[in-house]
């Protein structure tokens, strides 16, 4: 298993272009199962989770063709395949995204139950409840979700889901992938579906926009109430293709990496509109993302949906309170990264995790680097220290690992971050990006220190 060896203490300087969003791209790819015409996506990131989704779609009878610059065309050609095998889904929870599209377009699905992961149990009860409301019959068999749409009303016709009024809220708010699944299924259902307490995450909005470009009728995207009028069939994407939104979590991660090193970094393709809560917390800490026009000149207008920003950081970092919440609140996927930044703030900060209350795998590792953190249930109190010190660390979660890399970039001496395959799931060649910004970071193949 590869490791990163990082010698900290160098301010990052330069420009990074933010890639397409992993968490948007996975359900976007699954949506290709809804049509027998080609779906062409642009700006698909080169990540192991994306490659796993490609394997899954290949096993489900899709032809996949990758072009240059993150172009990926997915063409469902064998609609008889409905089995999402455990071997693939266990490596990538987002495999569950194929359930709704398979059920809607092919009338049935047999999808491996994804199981838990390092950040918690990760149930899928809301996905199943939503699909059942659309008329699906769902049973569990040998670790697989077996789902069937209601039989055709006329003999020989296709099985078809039926529109319904659905409440998708759970104990911790809505469900992002659950909303993607139910929305993707409802677009081909008979009649109208209303989803209440739908996820407002920008990635789910992106899925809705793709579906609309394929002929779906959806209103209310980005709000907790979606109305979907079912259509008979969907076409492929327009010939020019569909651009995947920029990755707001990658953007926030590099922003915090720049801030903790007191560097001077410009982030291009930065999705300002999707990061309101994170930018608000960072502003209070003393970190801002100032809009810049291409070429570095000051712009006339503020940063728009995807723009270039230049990170500015005050000498002293202020401690703040952070509570993770569903969008538009502070994203859980940036919790570990902001905690790393707060380890060097001037005072006591509090971070509360409300989406995945056990998502604190980075805490014990940050302690090994000299951080002062006390965890009480779903909260952590972080008492800022003058410096972090390099150490061998490991985290069994993607974002926790990103938090450790951020801490290592500022730490005195050498840090080895073990098991970086977690990072490879969500960050495209992170070491190359950071090297280009002047960080001393090397990938050591197969090493476990």
Q: Which residues bind ligand EPU (CB under 6 A)?
A: 23, 26, 94, 120, 122-127, 170-172, 175-178, 199, 201, 332-333, 355-356, 398-399, 426
Query: Which CB atom, from 40 or from 127, has the smaller least distance to ligand EPU?
Result: 127
In the numeric block, the tokens 């709000």 are attached to 223
Nearer to ligand EPU, 26 or 161 (CB): 26
Task: Decide if 117 is catalytic.
Answer: yes
Task: Sort residue 363 into left (φ over 0), alpha (ψ -120 to 50) or beta.
Answer: alpha
How far apart are alpha carbons 262 and 265 in whole angstroms? 9
Q: What gap in Å lies between CA 422 and CA 14, rounded to an integer? A: 25
Answer yes or no: are the C-beta atoms of 41 and 27 closer than 8 Å. Answer: no
Q: Edge-to-edge strand order for the sheet containing 217-219? A: 165-167, 192-196, 225-229, 217-219
Cα 28 to Cα 228: distance, rounded to the nearest angstrom? 17
Residue closer to ligand EPU, measured from CB, 254 or 317: 254
**Closest C-alpha among 28, 99, 25 to residue 60:** 99
Q: How far is the CB of 202 from ligand EPU (least distance, A)?
A: 10
Minimum distance between the CB of residue 153 and ligand EPU, rounded to whole angstroms? 30
184 and 157 in contact (C-beta within 8 Å)? no
* 267 contacts 255 by C-beta, under 8 angstroms: yes
* Structure-token pair, residue 154: 């006329």
Q: What's the half-sphere exposure (Cβ side, CA atoms, 13 Å) at 250?
A: 29
Catalytic residue among 25, 62, 117, 200: 117
Q: Which is nearer to ligand EPU, 13 or 354 (CB)?
A: 354
Pick between residue 62 and residue 398 the one whose CB is nearest to ligand EPU: 398
Longest dimension (CA), the chain: 74
The β-bridge partners of 327 are none
d(CA 173, CA 199): 8
Q: How far is the CB of 333 from ligand EPU (least distance, A)?
A: 5
The pair of three-digit structure tokens given for residue 162, joined into one six-digit string: 């039926």
Q: How far is the CB of 444 from ligand EPU (least distance, A)?
A: 24
Residue number with CB closer to ligand EPU (146 or 231): 146
Task: List, by residue number, the catalytic residues.
Answer: 117
């Amino acid at each position: 298993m590869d490791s990163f060896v990082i010698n900290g203490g160098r301010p990052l300087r330069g420009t990074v272009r933010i890639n397409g969003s992993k968490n948007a791209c996975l359900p976007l790819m699954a949506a290709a199962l809804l049509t027998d015409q080609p779906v062409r996506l642009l700006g698909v990131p080169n990540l192991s989770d994306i490659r796993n989704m490609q394997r899954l779609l290949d096993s489900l009878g899709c032809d996949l063709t990758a072009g240059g610059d993150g172009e990926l065309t997915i063409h469902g050609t064998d609609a008889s395949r409905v089995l999402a095998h455990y071997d693939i889904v266990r490596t990538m929870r987002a495999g569950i995204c194929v359930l709704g599209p398979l059920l809607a377009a092919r009338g049935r699905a047999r999808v491996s139950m994804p199981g838990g992961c390092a950040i918690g149990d990760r149930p899928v009860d809301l996905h199943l409840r939503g699909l059942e409301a659309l008329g699906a019959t769902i049973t569990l068999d040998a670790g697989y979700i077996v789902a069937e749409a209601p039989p055709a009303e006329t003999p020989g016709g296709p099985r078809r889901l039926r529109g319904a009024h659905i409440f998708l809220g759970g104990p911790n708010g809505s469900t992002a992938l659950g909303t993607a699944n139910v929305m993707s299924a409802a677009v081909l259902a008979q009649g109208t579906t209303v989803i209440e307490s739908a996820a407002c995450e920008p990635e789910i909005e992106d899925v809705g926009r793709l579906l609309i470009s394929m002929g779906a009728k959806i209103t209310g995207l980005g709000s907790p109430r979606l109305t979907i009028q079912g259509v008979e069939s969907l076409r492929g994407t327009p010939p020019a293709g569909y651009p995947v939104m920029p990755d707001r979590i990658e953007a926030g991660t590099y922003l915090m990496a720049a801030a903790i090193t007191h560097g001077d970094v410009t982030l291009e393709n930065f999705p300002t509109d999707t990061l309101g809560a994170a930018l608000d917390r960072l502003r209070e800490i003393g970190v801002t993302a100032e809009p810049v026009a291409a070429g570095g000149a000051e712009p006339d207008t503020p940063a728009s949906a995807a723009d270039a920003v230049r990170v500015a950081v005050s000498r002293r970092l202020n401690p703040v309170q952070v509570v993770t919440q569903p969008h538009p609140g502070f994203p859980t996927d940036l919790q570990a990264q902001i905690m790393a930044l707060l380890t060097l703030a001037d005072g006591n900060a509090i971070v509360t995790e409300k989406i995945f209350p056990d998502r604190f795998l980075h805490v014990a590792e940050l302690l090994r680097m000299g951080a002062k953190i006390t965890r009480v249930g779903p909260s952590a109190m972080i008492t800022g220290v003058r410096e972090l010190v390099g150490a061998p660390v490991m985290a069994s979660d993607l974002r926790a690992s990103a938090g450790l890399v951020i801490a290592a970039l500022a730490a005195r001496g050498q840090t080895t971050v073990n098991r970086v395959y977690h990072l490879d799931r969500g960050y495209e060649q992170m070491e190359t990006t950071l090297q280009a910004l002047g960080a001393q970071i090397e990938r050591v193949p197969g090493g476990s220190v």
